[in-house]
Amino acid sequence: MPEFLKLLSPNMALINWLEKFPTAEFKNEVIPTEESYGRILDEDIYAPHSLPEFSRSTVDGFAVVAKDTFGSSEGMPAYLKIIGEVKMGVTTDLKLTHGTAVLIHTGGMLPEGADAVVMLENSQTSRQDEIEITKSVAHLENIIQVGEDVQTGELILNRGTLLRMVEIGGLMAYGILSVKVVRKPKVGIISTGDEVVPPSSFPSIGQVRDVNTYTLEALVNKRGGEAVRLGIVPDNPRILKDKLESALTECDAVLVTAGSSASAHDMTSQVINEAGKPGVIVHGINIRPGKPTILAVCNGKPVIGLPGNPVSALVIAWLFVSPMLQRLQGQSKEPIKKQISARLTINISSMAGREDYIPVKLTMENGEYQAEPIFFKSNLIFNLVKADGLMFIPADANGLNAGDVVQVFFL
């Protein structure tokens, strides 16, 4: 029986595969913080000081002693003496006592003695040095205290954190201008097939341009890896073996497209098995498209044998390349796949026991997304170009009806 007929669910296949990954030793590098978006932190970072370093106002208004405003209203305002203004960007030496107030601006340093700020719109000038308070404020209202955001010595970023715009902003708030990050894993991409030619070539009848190398390269780079194009290999096991062994020396992981079916001419599984131990972990996944997928580990390095059809290859890569790169970089938190709920526009059939991912076009109607399936053949890349995302049909479904709510994942 062909090996790929021993089908596993995508989730079980992923679990079995990841269990065979060795404990990684991550290479790192120090880069400017401003260039670290999308990288994985390779150090714990602790707060060198409290943030904020001084108590400050969150609104424009008047710094006050909160008790002086209790019971105030438009009909019975409280009257406070104005003793000065807090200048922005400088330390203030003003001190409040009962019955006084200080003009303050958003972000301004709270003067000594103040424990709240009255918003400007809840006050009005009665005389040159006097203010009417028309609404009371509570203790600590409209202010941020020292260390309210972060305390000195607090762990602010864990090793393994994906650096997004908010983490970069937080680092800059501390003046941390460089960070240690995991080096981008190099992912080699090999396309196979006698019929495959470079995009720069003009294919003759029976030939096709290489699509997979470039879609996979874009995905790898987007997910934090460094794609390495390794060219096109003919349907020759010896040449593929030499190319794969060379790739495993140069790269941290390898993707091989085509040659993953049970065809007599498709020797990818055998070649991968011979390239290193433990070899092929999974050959065959209960999914459409992408059933004849190969997941392997060769001498500590992950290898994926992808279907040759562009849609199948990209769907499988979307499911398995991201967690692979997460593991290779020690990312501590699993990325969240971006998805939305939508209503299916037509009835659609499905085989129970198999997960389906179907390209859909999204429209908006009555405030709800509508998912219109794009019926496809997996060798036609423009099926995905026309799509906004992939609709997921779970394995326990025998089909879906028009009007059913489905989950759509963005590619």
Residue 296 in domain: yes
Burial of 395 (0-12, 13-18, 19+ CB in 10 A): middle
Query: pLDDT at position 16, please?
Result: 94
Residue 334 in domain: no
Here the CATH number for the domain that contains residue 345 is: 2.40.340.10
Domain's final residue, options 295, 310, 329? 329
If you ran DSSP here, which 8-state letter would residue 333 be given? S
Residue 154 in domain: no
Question: Are 321 and 225 found together in one domain?
Answer: yes
Question: Are 69 and 136 found together in one domain?
Answer: yes
Question: Are 316 and 289 found together in one domain?
Answer: yes
Domain count, the chain: 4
Which range of residues forms the domain containing residue 316? 3-25+184-329
Q: What are phi and psi of 344, to 5 degrees?
A: -70, 135
Residues lower than pLDDT 70 in the chain: 1-6, 24, 259-266, 376-380, 383
Give SS3 for 34: helix
For residues 61 and 120, what is the distance between their CA atoms, to the nearest angstrom?
A: 4
If you ran DSSP here, which 8-state letter would residue 51 be given? B
Give SS3 for 88: coil
Here the CATH number for the domain that contains residue 121 is: 2.170.190.11
Residue 117 in domain: yes
> In Å, what is the CA distance from 72 to each residue of 40, 43, 122?
53, 52, 10
Query: pLDDT at position 410, please?
Result: 87
Residue 151 in domain: no
Question: Are 95 and 174 found together in one domain?
Answer: no
Domain's final residue, options 311, 329, 347? 329
Query: pLDDT at position 2, please?
Result: 44
Question: Are 97 and 34 found together in one domain?
Answer: no
Here the CATH number for the domain that contains residue 163 is: 3.90.105.10
Query: Which segments within 258-411 are labelled E, that is strand?
Result: 278-283, 287-288, 294-298, 301-306, 339-344, 348-349, 355-365, 368-373, 389-393, 399-400, 405-409
Question: Are 207 and 307 found together in one domain?
Answer: yes
Residue 228 in domain: yes
Residue 400 in domain: yes
Domain's final residue, options 117, 144, 171? 144
Closest CA relative to residue 330, chosen from 132, 44, 31: 44
Closest CA relative to residue 401, chosen from 374, 377, 373, 378: 373
Question: Are 192 and 318 found together in one domain?
Answer: yes
- The pTM score is 0.82
Question: Are 175 and 210 found together in one domain?
Answer: no
Query: pLDDT at position 135, please?
Result: 96
If you ran DSSP here, which 8-state letter would residue 194 be given? T
Question: Are 273 and 194 found together in one domain?
Answer: yes
Query: pLDDT at position 24, please?
Result: 67
Residue 152 in domain: no
Burial of 349 (0-12, 13-18, 19+ CB in 10 A): exposed
Here the CATH number for the domain that contains residue 221 is: 3.40.980.10
Question: Are 83 and 13 found together in one domain?
Answer: no
**Residue holding tokens 């999974």?**
282
Question: Are 275 and 221 found together in one domain?
Answer: yes
Question: Are 241 and 361 found together in one domain?
Answer: no
Query: pLDDT at position 264, please?
Result: 34
Give SS3 for 155: strand
Structure tokens at 325: 């790169």
Query: pLDDT at position 309, please?
Result: 87
